[in-house]
Amino acid sequence: MTGTGTSAATTRNATSTWRNWAGNVSSRPTRTFSPASVEELAEAIRTAAADGLRVKAVGTGHSFTSVATTDGLLIRPELLTGIREIDRTAGTVTVAAGTPLRRLNEALAREGLSLTNMGDITDQTVAGATSTGTHGTGRDSASIAAQIRALELVTADCSVLTCSPTENADIFASARIGLGALGVVTAITFAVEPVFLLTAREEPMPFDRVTADFDALVAENEHFEFYWFPHTGNCNTKRNNRSAGPAAPPGAVSGWVEDELLSNGLFQVACSVGRAVPRTIPAIARISSRALSARMYTDIPYKVFTSPRRVRFVEMEYALPREAAVGAL
């Protein structure tokens, strides 16, 4: 790579293979580059265009599809990180695009602030998560991209655009969930609110009861989700609602047993056995569905919404109107 892109610290071996988190997608970019500034990024795009290469930005590779792959120039996020500004009057935080959600959540919590809603993990970059519409649950609150108030984008002609509902509004509307197709996002401004407490109620529940009571469970809870264990009539449910407190996080030992030992350690063993001997899967599902017990805890949002997920998996997702959910199941 020429220009600023030639730095040994930021240019990677041209033949190195990129793999996503799940390990089901790989690509071999002609070159990779980790820009440390918007100017370095623009220069790298200019050079790539002159060399006839296409450009794709990647986050932490948590997408299960090939949406982040390229055979051209792969822009990596590691050096485009950190909080740029917190504006308490406007109720916003502006963060560099490669910042992992974990770092954003921790920084906001230190400032007594929080995002309103989020998905299941905090490993993704803010740009990667929003670019694919990453979401959690929410009766009244939407995906992370819905919380974007402005973003900064470097386009294919190396222009640096600020986009918001009042500036480049059409581009803003598309770039919030841009799938990496509109340019490289370099910073995002999110709406934030004073940090609040959520009470989580996790409870095993029969599939028949979940489906019969689905409308009430959704109507009565700010967040309702459930996991069905195929080959069984059992589900695990989780209800999250705002709470006046006090905070009552899971105990250190019980939290470790549920979140690490059962949900990661033993789950990994169960998945490996099921993969090696598929006929054991119904029995494993029956045992797994009884392993997690009911519990309640109250904590700040990211500690309730998100969990460590160390067992590698592949996932697909369908979007349906909520009224169709039970029928589709």
Question: How far is CA 268 from each of CA 103, 253, 265, 281, 288, rounded to the nearest angstrom?
Answer: 27, 20, 5, 13, 11
Minimum separation from the CB atom of position 12 to ligand FAD (A)? 16
Please select the residue that binds ligand FAD; options are 25, 108, 185, 198, rule is CB under 6 A.
Answer: 185
Minimum separation from the CB atom of position 134 to ligand FAD (A)? 4
17/28 Cα distance (integer angstroms): 5
Minimum separation from the CB atom of position 55 to ligand FAD (A)? 10
Measured CA angle at 256 (ends 226, 137), to 5 deg: 25
156 counts as binding ligand FAD under rule CB under 6 A:
no
Minimum separation from the CB atom of position 75 to ligand FAD (A)? 7
Q: Which is nearer to ligand FAD, 57 or 148 (CB)?
A: 57
Q: Residues in contact with ligand FAD, total (CB under 6 A)?
A: 32
Please select the residue that binds ligand FAD; options are 42, 121, 187, 304, rule is CB under 6 A.
Answer: 121
* Identity of residue 66: S
CB burial of 25-54 (b: ≥16 within 10 Å; e: otherwise) equals bebebbbbbbbeebebbbbbbbbbbeeebe
Residues 296-315 that bind ligand FAD (CB under 6 A): 309
310/34 Cα distance (integer angstroms): 26
283/297 Cα distance (integer angstroms): 30
Minimum separation from the CB atom of position 62 to ligand FAD (A)? 3
199/201 Cα distance (integer angstroms): 7
Write the interaction track for ligand FAD spanning residues 39-68; mark x where CB under 6 A is met and - where it is not. Answer: -----------------xxxxxxxx---xx
103 counts as binding ligand FAD under rule CB under 6 A:
no
Return the closest-CA partner of residue 120 out of 328, 322, 263.
263
Rg (alpha carbons) of the chain, rounded to whole number: 22
Stretch that binds ligand FAD, among 29-37, 175-183, 276-284, 289-297 (CB under 6 A): 175-183
Footprint on this chain of ligand FAD (rule: CB under 6 A): 21-22, 56-63, 67-68, 97, 119-121, 124-125, 127-129, 131-132, 134-136, 178-180, 184-185, 309
